[in-house]
Every structure is written in structure tokens, then in C-alpha cells.
Structure 1
Amino acid sequence: MMTLEKLTKRFGATVAVDGLDVEIRPGRVTGFLGPNGAGKSTTMRMILDLDRPTSGRALLDGRSYSAYEWPLRHVGALLEAGAVHPGRTGRNHLLAMARSNAIPVRRVDEVLELAGLGGSARKRAGAYSMGMRQRLGIAGALLGDPPVVVLDEPVNGLDPDGVRWIRGLMRGLAAEGRTVFVSSHLLSEMQVTADHLIVIGRGRLLADAPLAEIVAGHASLEDAYYQLTDGSVLS
């Protein structure tokens, strides 16, 4: 389970994340929604110890990300799919990740096949399309076979077949009992993928409830979302 305890981040006078108190539970896909500037990316960066909280903490099964000796075995994450050296092949990129966390080499080839990149594994990442880079990033998130998976805008750059693939992948990971936490601006995708939603605006928690409860009484998740976030969009 992933727990955010009064998680707060300030940049000078600006409060980017304001006292988030939530639990992201295993066995379901939890969607993370909010307008631009709501604090979603900052929250994800704090979960992965890429940003230090001003106060509060983010815990993964009771420990911070940096407390794990081999973090990729516990948490897999996709934040920036383009963060790959263009001169390195897709396989070598994952191989370096695997070696850094004592992950068997065979797992590299397994996730490449899972991500549909088996035939492009030895191609330099600089020649990958945006969708291929996205698939490589997802393969990296799954490399350590982690119980917790954090994905930021996972369908970016994917064609319809890719969108269908990642949708099924996330549902499958949750069905295996993993914790799946996914940030997205595509409300239609969240409506068919997520079990539970956390919605924030201006860094504050606006909703933490099952999808069905949030959508109840509305024509769609889009309608419910705009009602929830009214007044939280930065001008």
C-alpha cells in the first residue's frame, strides 16, 4: 500500500501540494486527476524521492522509496518516457537499470516482449517513435516485477492498439493484487480503467472515492470532474 501523510510541498510562497492525506490501496487501479498545476507531478516526484517534501511524507509499505536497497523491485515508475539516452539501444537501457538493482538479465527480455518491443530491442532509442519510447518506459516500470506501479500519463504517444494494451495491462496488474497509481488527463480512459479516483486542485484534496461514487448523478466522469474542480483551475 502507498500512503501519503499530510504531504506538503512549498516553492517559496507557492504551495504546490497542500497536506495530502490518502491511501492508495492494492488490487485496484487508482486514477490521479486534477487540472494543470494542481500538484500531481510534484506529488509523484515526492513519492519517488525526486523532490523532498516541505512536511509530511510518502510511504510505500511503511517505508520511503529511498529506504529500499533495490527500489525497482518494490516500485516501478514511468514519469518521463523521453528520459533515455538516444544512442543507447532499448535493451541496453533496460539492462543498465536491471544491473543497478540486481535484476536478472532474463527479465529485460521478458518486459521487452511484454511491451511489444522484442523486435526493436537492439534499435537505438533515438530512432524510436514517441509510442515506442512510451512502451520502453512502461517496460522499465515493470522491470523489477514490483508490487507498486506509478504511471504518469501512460497513454501519451500510443496508437489505439497501444491504448488498449496499456488499459488491459493496468487492469491485469491490479487483478494480480498490485497497487496501480496512474495520473491522466484523459477522463474517458479513466472512466473505463480506474476503480478509484483521487482528485486534487491547487494542491488540495477534492475527492478520494470509488469511480462509481464520483460519477453517480452525472452523465459522465467528465461532468463530475468539472464540477469537482470548478474554481481550482489556475488562471
Structure 2
Amino acid sequence: MIVAEQLTKRYGRTVAVDGLSFAVRPGHVTGFLGPNGAGKSTTMRMILGLDRPSGGRALIDGRPYAALRRPLRQVGALLEGRGAHPGRRVYHHLLYLARSNDIPRRRVAEVLELTGLEGAAGRRAGGLSLGLTQRLGLAAALLGDPPVLLLDEPVNGLDPQGVRWLRDLLRGFAAEGRAVLVSSHLMAETAQTADRLVVVTRGRLIADAGVTEFVSGAASLEEAFLRAVGR
């Protein structure tokens, strides 16, 4: 699971994340919602050790990300789809990642099939469409068959078929007892995918609840969200 404890990030006088505490538990798809500039991406970067917290801490299965010996086997992450070197072929990008974390070579073929990239395995990453680039980022996140997934706007660039595929994948992932944190601005898709929500604004937690509880009394998740953030 993922645990954030009083997580704080300051940039000079600007507080991007302000004492944020929440948990992403196994068996759930947790939607991570907030307006632009709410601190979602910064929070995810701190969870993954890419930004150092100004205060508090973030743990994955009880340890900081930097302390994980083979991190791809424990947490799969997608923060930016274009993470592969543009000149590297899809297959070799995934093979390099697999070797760096002692993941069997056969797993590369498995995630290529899982993400629908078999036909693009020999293509260079820089020549992929936005949708295929996003699928490559997802393939990298799934490579270690991890118990935790952390995805920032994962449906960007995906066609309707791809969006449904990802929705089913994340639900199945949670049904296996794994923990999933998904940041999104798409309220309708989040309503269909997530069963829990963490909602932030101005770097502060304003809701940590089940989707049904959060939406109670509103016509939709979008209406409940706008009401919660004061818009």
C-alpha cells in the first residue's frame, strides 16, 4: 500500500503540498482528484522519490521508494508517457528496464501483448503516436507485475477502446488485492473506474472517501467535485 504522512512540499514561499495524509489500500482503485495546481503531480513525485519532501514522508509497503531494492517489482508508475529515449526501440526499452530489476525476459513479451504493442515492438519510441506512447509507459509500469500501481493521467491519448481496456485492467488489478492510485481530470471515467477518492485542493486534503459517499446528494461525481473544491 501507499501511505502519505503529513507530506509537505514548499518552493520558497509557495506551499505546493500542505500536510497531506492519506492511504491507498490494497483491493481498491483510488482516484486522485484536484484542480490544476492542487499538488497531485508533486505528491506523486514525492511518493516516487523524484522530489524531496519539505516535511512528512511517503512510504510504499512501509518503506521509502529509494529503499526498495527492485522497485519495478513493487510499484509500477506512469508520470509521463514520453519516458523512453526516442531512438530506442520499444522492445529494447522494456528489455533494458527488465534487466535493471532482474525481471525475466519473457515478461517483456507478456506486457507487449497485454498493452497491444506487439506490432510496435520494433519501432523507435520517438516515432510512436501519443496513444502508443502512453501504452508504452503503461507497459513499463506493468513490467514487474507489481502489487502497487501509481498512474498520472493514464488515459491521455488513448482511444475509446484503449480507455475501456485500461479501466478493465485497473479494476482487475484491484480485484487481485493490489493497490491502485490514479490521478485524472476525467470525472466520468473516474466514476466508472475508482471505488475510493482522495481529493485535494491547494495542496490540502478535502476528502478521503468512497465514491458513493463522496457523490451522495449530488447528481454526478463532477457536481460533487465542483461543490467540494468551491467552484
TM-score range, shorter chain: over 0.9
In the alignment, what sits opposite 2:186?
186
Kindly state the Cα deviation for residue 124 of structure 1 after the two structures are TM-superposed.
0.9
Partner residue in 2 for 1:202 = 202
5 Å-filtered alignment, 1:1-235, equals 1-230=1-230
TM-score by length of 2: 0.99
SS of the equivalent of 2:5 reads strand
Q: Deviations over 1:13-69 (max 9, x none)?
A: 000000011111010100000000000000000000000000100001110001011
Counterpart-to-counterpart distance in 1, 2:228 and 2:61:
30
- CA deviations 1:175-220 (Å, max 9, x no partner) are 1110000000000000111000000000000100000000111000
Q: Which runs of 5+ in 2 are unaligned?
A: none
RMSD: 0.7
**TM-fit CA distance, 1:125:** 1.1
1:91 partner letter: Y
Aligned-pair identity in percent equals: 66
**Which residues of structure 1 form unaligned runs of 5+?**
none
**Aligned residues, how many?**
231
Give the Cα–Cα distance (whole angstroms) in 2 for the partners of residues 123 and 23 of structure 1. Answer: 39
Q: How far apart are 1:141 and its partner, in Å? A: 0.3
Superposition misfits of 4+ residues, deviation over 3 angstroms: none
Measure the CA separation in 2 of the matches of 1:45 and 1:218: 32
Distance 1:114 1:152 in 2: 19
Mapped to 2, the partners of 1:198 and 1:204 lie a distance apart of 10
Distance 2:79 2:17 in 1: 18
Q: Matches of 2:109 and 2:121 in 1, distance apart?
A: 8
Look up the equivalent residue of 2:41 and give its one-letter code.
S
Which amino acid is the alignment partner of residue 224 of structure 1? A
